[in-house]
Amino acid sequence: MDHDTASRTTLIRSASDAGSRVFETILTRSPISRIDIARQTGLSQAAVTKAVAPLVAAGLVDAPPASHRDGTPGRPVSPVSIVLEAMVMIGVKVNVDEIIAVATDLGTTVLASERRALSSDDPHSVIESITEIVEDLRTALGDSASAIAGVGVAVSGDVDSSTGVVRESNIMGWADVPLGDLLQERLPWPVTLENDVHALTIGEHWFGVGLGTASFAIVTIGRGIGSGLHLNGEVVSGAFGVAGEIGHLPLADPTLVCPCGRRGCVEAAASTGAIETAVSTALGRTVTIDEAVALAHAGDPDADGAFREAARLIGTAIATLVNLTGPEVVIIGGEGVSDFDLFEKTLRDAFEAHAFGAAVRCRILTRPHTFEDWARGASAAAIQSLVR
Amino acid sequence: MDHDTASRTTLIRSASDAGSRVFETILTRSPISRIDIARQTGLSQAAVTKAVAPLVAAGLVDAPPASHRDGTPGRPVSPVSIVLEAMVMIGVKVNVDEIIAVATDLGTTVLASERRALSSDDPHSVIESITEIVEDLRTALGDSASAIAGVGVAVSGDVDSSTGVVRESNIMGWADVPLGDLLQERLPWPVTLENDVHALTIGEHWFGVGLGTASFAIVTIGRGIGSGLHLNGEVVSGAFGVAGEIGHLPLADPTLVCPCGRRGCVEAAASTGAIETAVSTALGRTVTIDEAVALAHAGDPDADGAFREAARLIGTAIATLVNLTGPEVVIIGGEGVSDFDLFEKTLRDAFEAHAFGAAVRCRILTRPHTFEDWARGASAAAIQSLVR
DNA sequence: GGTATTTACTTGACAGCGGCAATTAATGCC
DNA sequence: GGCATTAATTGCCGCTGTCAAGTAAATACC
């Protein structure tokens, strides 16, 4: 970090409660007038003016002279905006066999991106790879590398973001790995460790569809089926690190055994792997998910049936989630959503059949997520940990 | 309210953030030393001393001279306690055919209790009955009636506690009834309106088993099956007023039609009514729930099977709830729990079969609730609205 | 074209809150 | 009776955010 970036970081970190709320509002809502910030945060206009001043001085916020004249009487508003390029954040998504890393600005727009295969899932080897990929990004960024202000790392599993410990990750085969601390020793910027779905949730809450909602959920469909939950403005993490396990709700046929060992899990019938298996069994040959999609589009009854069943289960699972926690919006994301046309109708029907009362008013939106989007989520998590 | 009660109310209401947190801690944890209050709240000892002083002066808190000598060196702690009788709260639970009201102290210990049949579910008639039953309680209280500081009312359905409007209550047949305001016109004390399960949740959180937990759920079994959810220290209300509808999770046989019109709801197979129906059908005669309990205890296979199925469903539903939201504790309450021996084993087995990973560590406790306990919950809600 | 009106933002005085550090209080131990 | 130890209190002080008044920049009206 060069001098500017360091002083900006300390400014944000040492900000008062009101100060960080103001910064958060500008970050997620800019351009926004001071009076709107006051309304949003419940602070007085005076407090906003005072909180904005040091942010402008530090170059984090831009306060252009008023220009917008809309014919209404009164002094025109002069909205302030976040200076997107004031800081660069790095987001890293760790998969079993691959690492994806992005460098983003403060709006999580990707500035540079790198991928790197993982030869081993040993923590030290992963740390080595992360260090290297971050170095690659630094080179790719050139001059703006000096603006790097933090690194966010997203890992699937039970992650304690406050201590930076991966308590358990089945996919990686890890238990109680202090990944945050280990990485912090190797990197000169503050490291934030988060569960991958939580990170994606944070990203959507601050920079995506979830913006402005007090409560929303994000359901990811892919190799696994998971969900992240934001209620009352906070992430739900679960007392024992387990929450949002929508893929392991027992809604499917109880004779189906899930890879997790339990019976009747949604994931056992609706993950891409489960669809592959179902179609392969029906056709008597090995079918990949892409083939299954093609077959279903071509009208093959077995493939169509498998997708229908998956959609029905996911719709029912979402209804379950909504009946219990009542979010405003559910975002369906993840890699599996690219074939959402195969899902949509059945999914919505199943949801509506089981959503209770006013819960049907919950909006269900889709947003396909690439692996790069997961890394952007990690970057968003790093931004959030900087502000909070 | 006499002068003392009024001034105590204003003292609590006008307290600073730290002040009300200190009062809350004394209320729920007394007797407690000042130093422990500081640790609990994260405040400095000095701040605690300053916050406690006016509470003692107002007679809300008792600060007896230190007496406890335990052989350890150092000045002995002199714990402070809430003066339970400093205020009297009234809690009212509205059922379809009956109203139950209690007067409690600040620890929700019942001081007086009244019941009254409801002749009509018309809101005005209900308000009339509540006014009368409160008047009865006032008479029953005698001198301590002057300490009444608030009234809490618990109604089943979608209740907006911030505005005091019953947005929808199927059981009562109400929609958009401003019950809070209407009652406030008739009663000289602040009126708090809450959803009944939420009220019970608040009661357990402050004065019951949920004390000290950051997140917990309460599942009530009876005529209906519902649940209240506390996550990150706050009640989950649902964006559209729907949350905790565990009775309407689609986990049961899809051929079963629930009274709500949906298929496969837990409630359609596990509520007391559903058990009555199942046993009656199997035996070819009308059986009440009490008879069904007796039959099951006597070893009747049909009755036993009905309870087993109900227990299996409720256990699965709780696993669903826990997999999604990860509470520390689940309390099973409500009237139906008195026969919990018929449920327990099967319920726990079903829970453990479907709880994901560390979620099995979630404790499941039972607490039978009488109708009076629901009214106590309303009283707890009134206490909480006073403090917050 | 000036004056009034309207709305957005700024400034400075001020009060309250809560932390810090020193002080007082109450005990056990030698 | 000192000394160590822990609890509670007190005064000081800085920080925060509100209030109320003032300034800025536009339109509306005569």
Rounded distance between C-alpha atoms, residue A221 and residue A28, angstroms: 27
pLDDT of B3 reads: 60
Rounded distance between C-alpha atoms, residue A99 and residue A372, angstroms: 10
Residue A2 binned pLDDT confidence (cut-offs 50, 70, 90): low
Residue B83 binned pLDDT confidence (cut-offs 50, 70, 90): very high
* Average pLDDT of the segment spanning A355-373: 90
pLDDT of B2 reads: 58
| Distance of C1' in C24 from CA in B77, Å | 15
Q: Do A229 and B358 touch (CB under 8 A)?
A: no
Q: How is residue A151 annotated by DSSP?
A: E
Q: Which of residues 12-51 of A touch strand D (CB under 7 A)?
A: 16-19, 42-47, 50-51
Smallest Cβ distance to B324: which of A244, A260, A357? A244
CB contacts, 8 Å: B195 with chain A: none
Residue A21 binned pLDDT confidence (cut-offs 50, 70, 90): very high
Q: How is residue B363 annotated by DSSP?
A: E
3-state DSSP assignment of residue A363: strand
* Average pLDDT of the segment spanning A112-130: 94
* Average pLDDT of the segment spanning A130-140: 97
Structure tokens at A289: 């998910």
pLDDT at A1 over 60: no
Structure tokens at A5: 């970036």
CB contacts, 8 Å: B248 with chain A: 323, 354, 356
Rounded distance between C-alpha atoms, residue B49 and residue B25, angstroms: 13
**Segment A169-221, tens digit of pLDDT:** 888 999 999 999 999 999 999 999 999 988 999 999 999 888 888 899 999 98
* Average pLDDT of the segment spanning B127-150: 96
Smallest Cβ distance to B231: which of A231, A250, A264? A231
State which amino acid sits at residue A43: L
* Average pLDDT of the segment spanning A112-137: 95
* Average pLDDT of the segment spanning A141-154: 96
Q: How many CB atoms lie within 10 A of CB B241?
A: 19
pLDDT of A4 reads: 85
Size of interface A-B (CB pairs under 8 A): 163
Check whether residue B73 has its CB closer than 7 Å to nucleic acid strand D: yes
Q: Where are the alpha helices (DSSP H) in B235-288?
A: 267-270, 272-283
CB A131 within 8 A of CB A187: yes
Smallest Cβ distance to B242: which of A239, A240, A359? A359
| Distance of C1' in D5 from CA in A182, Å | 40
Closest CA of chain A from B213, distance in Å: 9
Chain A interface disruption, residue of B167, B169, B322, B356, most A CBs within 10 A: B356
Q: Where are the alpha helices (DSSP H) in chain A?
A: 3-13, 17-29, 34-41, 45-57, 123-141, 179-186, 196-207, 267-270, 272-283, 289-297, 301-325, 344-354, 371-387
pLDDT at A341 over 60: yes
Distance set, CA A73 to CA A49, A68, A76, A269 (Å): 22, 12, 8, 61
Smallest Cβ distance to A250: which of B237, B316, B328? B316
Rounded distance between C-alpha atoms, residue B265 and residue B268, angstroms: 5
Residue B221 bridge partners (DSSP): B225
Round the average pLDDT of chain B to a whole number and report it: 91
**Segment B179-218, tens digit of pLDDT:** 999 999 999 999 999 999 889 999 999 998 888 888 999 9
| Distance of C1' in C20 from CA in B235, Å | 36
First and final CA of chain A: distance in angstroms? 20
CB contacts, 8 Å: B250 with chain A: 251, 316, 319-320, 353-354
State which amino acid sits at residue B273: G
Rounded distance between C-alpha atoms, residue A112 and residue A236, angstroms: 31
**Segment A122-132, tens digit of pLDDT:** 999 999 999 99
Q: Which nucleotide is nearest to A21 (CA to C1')?
A: D17
Round the average pLDDT of chain A to a whole number and report it: 92
**Segment B40-73, tens digit of pLDDT:** 999 999 999 999 999 999 999 999 876 666 777 8
Can you give the pTM of this predicted structure? 0.90
pLDDT of B105 reads: 97
pLDDT of A50 reads: 95
| Distance of C1' in C17 from CA in A51, Å | 19
Tokens 């001393």: give the residue.
B49
Q: Which of residues 50-79 of A touch strand D (CB under 7 A)?
A: 50-51, 66, 69, 71-76
Residue A3 binned pLDDT confidence (cut-offs 50, 70, 90): low
* Average pLDDT of the segment spanning B275-281: 92
CB contacts, 8 Å: B239 with chain A: 213-215, 326-328, 362
CB contacts, 8 Å: A229 with chain B: 324-325
| Distance of C1' in D30 from CA in A75, Å | 22
Handedness of CA A168, A171, A174, A177 (dihedral sign): negative
**Segment A234-284, tens digit of pLDDT:** 889 889 888 999 999 999 988 999 888 899 999 999 988 899 999 999 999
Check whether residue B67 has its CB closer than 7 Å to nucleic acid strand D: no
Q: Which nucleotide is nearest to B78 (CA to C1')?
A: D7
Chain A interface disruption, residue of B246, B260, B320, B330, most A CBs within 10 A: B320
pLDDT of B76 reads: 87
Residue count (chain A): 388
* Average pLDDT of the segment spanning A356-363: 92
Greater model confidence, A347 or A66: A347
